[in-house]
Amino acid sequence: MNETQKDFKMQELHTPSAFEGALWTCLGIKGADTIFHSPPGCYINQHVNALVNDWTCELYSTNLSYANIMQGAEDRMETTLRKIAAKKPGAILIVTAPTVEVTRDDVEGVAKKVNFKETVIIHPPIGGSLVEGKETAFIKILDLVDPKVKKVPRSVNIIGPTFSTFNWRADVYELTRMLAGIGVMVNCVYTAGATIDQIKTAAQAELNLCIYPYDSGVLVAKEMEKRFGIPYMADIIPIGFGNSAAWLESVAGFFKIDAGPYLKKTMANAFEFISSNMVFAVTFEMTAALSLENANTYAVGISEFLNKEVGVGIVMTAVGNHDAAKRLEALCDDVLICPTIEEKRDKFVEKGPMVIYGNFYDKKVSMDEGFKNFIFSDIPTIGYLSSENCPFMGFMGAKYLVEGLVNEVYMGIFLETKGDMMGAISTGAVPWDIEAEQAMIKVGEMIPHFVRATALKKLHSVAEQIAKERGTNVTLSIFREVSDKFTPTKFKAKFSAVFDDGAVPAPAADEDEEVPVSSLTFTMPWNDEAKGMLELVPSPFRQAAVSGTEDYARGKSRDTVIGATVEEFRKELGM
């Protein structure tokens, strides 16, 4: 047996394959019916997952059994194809599943037999990537395009959007709006949202615009140039104010249109926006991590925009291909290519970004590590609704990116630095050890200015509260504990530099002693659930947790501590 050459990862973050790529490319075409020549399990997974990201799609299946596969499933294909053909769709797009690719059914023979004129058969490669699947489908679908149509002046095709491309509707809507602003019409969006007639007349356009050059669309644009003589543009990602303007200017230049008046008006509005109070004052002190392996163009475009135009520090990026990684290395020291979940998690913790852009997995991993500020910007999402409203591309997209970032992070951090609406400000004076004071000064320097003073107040107050409950000074170990738990968002990665100093003593040995919940002193009734939650509190802090929770409950005029009380108190402390 040959030794494997694969580098296996124990917890690999699985990414969409060529099969998803092909299906998503087909599913977005209105008026075309897609048949997935597959077993029912494959079919239902694909259908459901597509519907998580997009509003509606028509997908049919040949529902193959093991016997069908082993004995040849051409008859199932024929039956299904004839039924679909009877509906007289604008086209029938057949995508074969991996099992069928193994047995190599003669799908082409079936299609010839049924003889429905507009039939396209796509065989995604087993082991192929999402991009390969999309490009394969894009190019096959070109067979439907009429090469003899007359060119429509000042018209373009937008190449690249497919179903399940994150936020494609909003981006297409915004780019279409901008193009209309300079008098350029979108002939066809190839393929998401296009009608089958728009696909068939795609050759009418004078120019193709690849809007995801680090993902997909460039190969089909090259093919269209060869077959239909349509040049293409793929050099500017229209994300950010500057690049959106440059992109539009470039399109205008192609058509010899003067975009000056439109750009002047638009950029004046953009400039007014970035001059406003809540932009630079917040963004200049922000750091972001972008984990967008399935949205490489977004990774490049958003990183460059946030960094160059609004001053956000990009502390980490994770992408899916080397080209995107190479471009990002210019502005980010830590660029990961298809990292494992562990690598990502470790990097999030090490870098402590104030906001993370990513997909569902990133959201979960970051939440597990205590990160609170997150912006969805990649698939999979497992349940995320998007429409035309919130683009990332174009001028409106640039504004939305800033809005989304500032609103998420500023308000999140702002509220984290607050106590209760009617809560205590201080428990009274408690002496501080000098080491703890010195650490507080150093920690303060690591907190962004826009919340520094208030965040320090919270640290100060919580440290004194804990010290008072334990009957000690505010010691370095108390301040360390407080910094770790109560600082806004995730700065603790940075704080480690303060506490890792050799001069700083380790927590006292007696803090490691086990304190059973049964040995704690309760001054009011606790239900079992609430007591059970104390098991999660480190031993040295359990008694303090009991008294703090009881004070909290009394403050709320409650005579019993239940699980919900513990949870409320924990949240109030920002834990």
Shortest distance, position 418 Cβ to another protein, whole Å: 7
Q: Which is nearer to another protein, 187 or 303 (CB)?
A: 303
For another protein, give the closer residue by CB, 72 or 444: 444
Strand ordering across the sheet containing 59-61: 59-61, 32-37, 91-96, 119-122
How many Cβ atoms sit within 10 Å of the Cβ of residue 321? 16
**Pair of tokens at residue 571:** 């949240």
One-letter amino acid identity for 87? K
Please, which residue, 218 or 474, has the CB nearer to another protein? 474
In the complex, minimum distance from the CB of residue 325 to another protein, in angstroms, rounded to a whole number: 22
Nearer to another protein, 2 or 277 (CB): 277
Token reading at 538: 């480190």
Minimum CB distance to another protein, residue 274 (Å): 7
CA distance 194 to 567: 49
- Distance separating alpha carbons of residues 551 and 525, to the nearest angstrom: 13
Cα 477 versus chain centre, distance: 37
Q: Which is nearer to another protein, 234 or 474 (CB)?
A: 474
For the record, the structure tokens of 247 come out as 């992109």
CB of 426 to another protein, least distance (A): 4
Is the Cα torsion angle 135, 136, 137, 141 positive or negative in sign?
A: positive
Query: Cis peptide leading into 195, omega within 30 of 0?
Result: no
* Amino acid found at 436: A
State which residue, 96 or 283, has the beta carbon closest to another protein.
283
**Those residues with Cβ within 8 angstroms of residue 53's Cβ, 6 or more apart along the chain or in another chain:** 163, 164, 166, 379, 381, 384, 386
Q: Write down the least CB distance from residue 457 to another protein, Å.
A: 5
Residue 130 or residue 306: which is nearer to another protein going by CB? 306
Q: Look-up: residue for tokens 């969006």?
A: 189
Question: CB–CB of 20/132 below 8 Å?
Answer: no
For the CB of residue 449, give the shortest distance to another protein in the complex, in Å. Answer: 4
Peptide bond into 380 cis (omega under 30): yes
Nearest approach in angstroms of CB 548 to another protein is 15
Residue 415 beta carbon to another protein: minimum distance, rounded to whole angstroms: 11
Token pair for residue 277? Answer: 């109070």
CB nearer another protein, residue 206 or residue 416: 416
- Residues near another protein (CB under 8 A): 241-242, 245, 260, 263-264, 266-268, 270-272, 274-277, 280-281, 284-285, 308-311, 414, 417-429, 432, 434, 437-438, 440-442, 444-445, 449-450, 452-454, 456-458, 460-461, 464
According to the 3-state scheme, what is the secondary structure of 138-158?
HHHHHHHCCCCCCCCCCEEEE
